[in-house]
Structure 1
């Protein structure tokens, strides 16, 4: 249960990036085919998320450090010392971005890559959280800033799905079909460098110029390269680390330790080079493995993957100063709501209702259960509107939930 149901039918953040309905995207394109959407196809552009001015602000005024910035030129990643330096007195850490060095490299044709913008730039922080809610997979956001007529990276593929959102300038993209379909993280493109290079010489599946407001979706494995045209190009790349059936298999295999036969040691003196000696043991092991997996249910992989998802994504941020100020003024009429993108499990045991999140568990009297369930719908309500509690008790419960970071009081 969560205040904002992940994968909700409206999927507003996803809808901004695609020219088809979310349902059609899920059935036809997600993990299967690239999708090009022009600004004319979409309801709005992406200027509210990022801009060329934002690039300059991050480079000049934010003290960005590696690995949140890197640079590349014609396929080669530059040494960090080429674009970083000490921040001077009071900020002597040596890997901070140097605007002078960045200017020199950028003027020489190097691409600026601003990484982890889902942690640095407020509009992107909010948008990424909404997109994660829509898709149910973790996401990260980088900005690629390429000078005119330059190419930052050679043709390659990613091991995660991407959405490309063109912010400013124009960039010529060439997209080729995979040489390895659905590569895992352990199968990066440089393991197939020669095949990728050959494939990139053929006729592209997509050969298009992205202009401001255009968007491109690429499933993992699709080969791509891009060159800025007549002006500096700024685009966002949203990387979606899609969970796979291989991840599900890994989660299932974690229960093998429950089988005593699979925990047993191999025979003393076994010659591991002798396939005939090992064959019957392999057969027995496979049989025990099959029996163990046939006895499983979804609870174990659900626990593993949900814990991983919680660790790889972030709920709506809470503002410590504003929260304490809101608590001081909170009364029965104060509007509050569940913290967005915070998955929890609400259970009732005996005389207590427990709210279980990834990092903490809160226990309240069972009388608070109707109020907790009402808040967890995500609607904005006040303590006076909560069911099952008298006015004073409702305020006490809301205060506790705000203090513990489950509920927020919108400004």
Structure 2
């Protein structure tokens, strides 16, 4: 989906633009507009007919959030939950100039669910999508920066964007723009790097940290913001330091009576610890890279979700499964095949990740094989290991063609994997 948003090839965008500078791509340079993802009628449907609750909707006026009590209420008999969106309240606030913010559309609006998943796959970092609906000649928020990269997709109407150089480059998630409020106010008075009106089908990419503000023009503006939370070198360092907690010398106490309130007196101890970290990082570089990589994979799993399964359709597929029915690994699901016996292989991955064998394989081992998933671990006889690895590789599999199993045993295995939400029907 990245090619829908940027007027550059993916390799060129990665090398020259990503994380470095903004990019304005006009509709004429892109394959198509974004009306298939959202539009005025879809916004009305979400607000009026979908029973959406806060915090999936916010409202803001002139840089300040509107009290949610102004646009939420219970929905009557059978739906007394009090924080549901009240269309009457939204209308009142919107007519008075408040911007509607639809948050987390990638979790509940089907066109954007598919779009955000494809964007996540293309950029390799977790992506999410919000929508901003701003009444004519109004703005939602003061000049600020985001702690994630954004792709602004103009859906309908027009909006003027002013973009300024960062006051704090590459901010982390715990370094919000409010920490630099005065510097941002001053920077917003400078000549902008970009001062442009986005029209339907245009896209503006902004790396995190770039100061920006936007104002609707003479009609209601709807734009989507695709937020990308990039993993950073800081994440790698933090994961490596956590791994170093196994080192006895780093767990030792600092000297008795050390004056921790006096930085000058702790500098010697600090230097000793940093020197130990540098030495251990060099000596154990390969081990730390493996452990840190596994931790980043775990964090990625926490921030993303695989394609949702459909429970009723899945059970129907289990009942109808035969030896030649093709199944494939569930998109976005990360798993690992591990054998408990000595000399057995461990393979991790899924269709969206690379797979690797960490040791040689011995499929004759009587020890069970485990399929480890983000939320559970499934155990199978060792003879299933080649079949599980074949499924994990991401190519379609059938019971009649699974390695190491006959068709009858293959059906037993695939029925379980289908029922457990590991495989899906094509």
Q: TM-score range by the shorter chain?
A: over 0.9
Aligned equivalent of 2:4: 16
Rounded to whole Å, the distance in 2 between the matches of 1:275 and 1:177 is 34
Aligned equivalent of 1:5: none
1:95 shift after superposition: 1.3
1:99 shift after superposition: 0.4
- Counterparts of 1:1-400 in structure 2, within 5 Å, are 13-275=1-263, 277-296=265-284, 297-348=288-339, 349=344, 350-351=365-366, 352-400=368-416
Over residues 59-78 of structure 1, what are the superposed CA-to-partner deviations in whole Å (9 max), with x where a residue is unaligned? 11111111111000111111
**Larger deviation: 140-149 or 123-132?**
123-132
Over residues 36-77 of structure 1, what are the superposed CA-to-partner deviations in whole Å (9 max), with x where a residue is unaligned? 111111112222211211111111111111111100011111
Rounded to whole Å, the distance in 1 between the matches of 2:168 and 2:267 is 31
- Consecutive unaligned residues in structure 2, runs of 5 or more: 345-364
Paired residues of 2:144 and 2:213 also in contact (CA < 8 A): yes
- Consecutive unaligned residues in structure 1, runs of 5 or more: 1-12
RMSD, aligned CA = 1.7
SS in 2 for 1:298: helix
Name which structure has the greater RCO, CA cutoff 8 Å, separation 6+: 1
Over residues 255-314 of structure 1, what are the superposed CA-to-partner deviations in whole Å (9 max), with x where a residue is unaligned? 232222222223333333445543332232222222232233311111211111001100
With over 3 angstroms needed to count, the CA separation of the structure-2 counterparts of 1:218 and 1:86, relative to structure 1, is same
With over 3 angstroms needed to count, the CA separation of the structure-2 counterparts of 1:276 and 1:16, relative to structure 1, is closer
With over 3 angstroms needed to count, the CA separation of the structure-2 counterparts of 1:262 and 1:367, relative to structure 1, is closer
1:106 shift after superposition: 0.3
1:242 shift after superposition: 0.5
TM normalised by structure 2 equals: 0.89
With over 3 angstroms needed to count, the CA separation of the structure-2 counterparts of 1:264 and 1:370, relative to structure 1, is closer
Paired residues of 2:243 and 2:292 also in contact (CA < 8 A): no
Over residues 325-357 of structure 1, what are the superposed CA-to-partner deviations in whole Å (9 max), with x where a residue is unaligned? 111111123232111111222344334443222
Rounded to whole Å, the distance in 2 between the matches of 1:68 and 1:143 is 10
1:205 shift after superposition: 1.2
1:98 shift after superposition: 0.6
Aligned equivalent of 1:405: 421
1:221 shift after superposition: 0.5
1:92 shift after superposition: 1.8
Rounded to whole Å, the distance in 2 between the matches of 1:373 and 1:44 is 39
With over 3 angstroms needed to count, the CA separation of the structure-2 counterparts of 1:383 and 1:119, relative to structure 1, is same
Paired residues of 2:309 and 2:421 also in contact (CA < 8 A): yes
TM normalised by structure 1 equals: 0.92
Rounded to whole Å, the distance in 2 between the matches of 1:380 and 1:275 is 61
SS in 2 for 1:235: strand
1:124 shift after superposition: 0.9
Rounded to whole Å, the distance in 2 between the matches of 1:268 and 1:308 is 37
Aligned equivalent of 2:357: none
